[in-house]
Amino acid sequence: MQAKTPEDSRTIMTDLVLPSETNPLNNLFGGELLARMDRAASIAARRHSRRIVVTASVNHVAFNKAVPLGSVVTVEAAVSRAFKTSMEIFIDVWVEDRESGTRSKANEAIYTFVAVDETGTPVKIPPIEPETDLEKERFAAALRRKQLALVLAGKMKPGDATELKALFVNS
Ligand SMILES: CC(C)(COP(=O)(O)OP(=O)(O)OC[C@H]1O[C@@H](n2cnc3c(N)ncnc32)[C@H](O)[C@@H]1OP(=O)(O)O)[C@@H](O)C(=O)NCCC(=O)NCCS
């Protein structure tokens, strides 16, 4: 299979925060942001694999900044690493300042998607070749994150998570 780049899967979704999507503090409801990120990540995973994709796990979410009612929110997702049938999707969330138009990073998240056939059986996906420094950094760390997710899910023995263990032993 021919290798792809993170750029090939990059997905950018921009939308407003409406009153029905906020919490009692008039900020974007966390579950609504998770759904927006899941949708963008799903499109990115589909663009990379050109297969049916399902969310396997949400590995990391950081709600660093509240997103107020009326904000223009951009969710940007791209595949950061492809494994055999699974892929890591890195998601950056940006909020646009109403007056200046400048974008600031509000949140980020990391999802894992698996490509499957019509029966739900995992299928092989194309490899990925990161290009920029940031893409290379995210690609390198993705293996440790996969090992951590599998250990936490009870699908890998901690002793087998070689790269993850090395992070603690060598630091
Ligand atoms: C995701 C799913 C296809 C994995 O099936 P499985 O039987 O565990 O398949 P495998 O063990 O062969 O794993 C397939 C891949 O997923 C990865 N994977 C499985 N569970 C994972 C987890 N919790 N975190 C990260 N990766 C995971 C495996 O490492 C493997 O990756 P690789 O092939 O790239 O090495 C299956 O669990 C499923 O269909 N889940 C429901 C998905 C869904 O409905 N999502 C929407 C939520 S409502």
Structural domains present in the chain: 6-129 (3.10.129.10)
- 65 Cβ contact list (under 8 Å, min separation 6): 95, 104, 105, 106, 107
Q: How confident is the model at residue 170 (pLDDT cuts 50, 70, 90)?
A: low
Cα(87)–Cα(42) distance, integer angstroms? 11
Structure tokens belonging to residue 53:
């994709």
Q: Output the pLDDT for position 98.
A: 81
Structure tokens belonging to residue 79:
């595949």
Cα(153)–Cα(45) distance, integer angstroms? 21
Digit-coded pLDDT (tens) for 108-136: 999 999 999 999 999 999 999 999 999 99
Q: Output the pLDDT for position 62.
A: 86
CA of 151 to the centre of ligand 1 (A): 13
Work out the percent of the chain whose per-residue pLDDT is above 70.
99
Q: What is the mean pLDDT of residues 86-104?
A: 93
Let me know the angle formed at the C-alpha of 126 by 143 and 124, rounded to the nearest 5 degrees. 85
Residue 1 neighbours by CB distance under 10 Å = 9
Q: Is the CB of 49 under 6 A from ligand 1?
A: no
Q: Output the pLDDT for position 158.
A: 92
Report whether pLDDT(171) > 70: no
Burial of 29 (C-beta count, 10 Å sphere; 0-12/13-18/19+): middle
Report whether pLDDT(2) > 90: yes
Report whether pLDDT(162) > 70: yes
Please state, rounded to an integer, the average pLDDT across all residues of the chain. 95
Cα(76)–Cα(140) distance, integer angstroms? 20
Q: Which amino acid is at 157?
A: K
Work out the percent of the chain whose per-residue pLDDT is above 90.
89
Q: Which amino acid is at 170?
A: N
Q: Is the CB of 112 under 6 A from ligand 1?
A: yes
Digit-coded pLDDT (tens) for 35-84: 999 999 999 999 999 999 999 999 889 888 999 999 999 999 999 999 99
Question: If phi over 0 gives left and psi between -120 and 50 gives alpha, with beta otherwise, what is residue 26?
Answer: left
Of the residues 80, 89, 114, 148, which should be mutated to test ligand 1's pocket, given the most ligand atoms within 8 Å of the CB?
Answer: 114
Q: Is the CB of 35 under 6 A from ligand 1?
A: no
Contact by Cβ (8 Å): 96, 103: yes
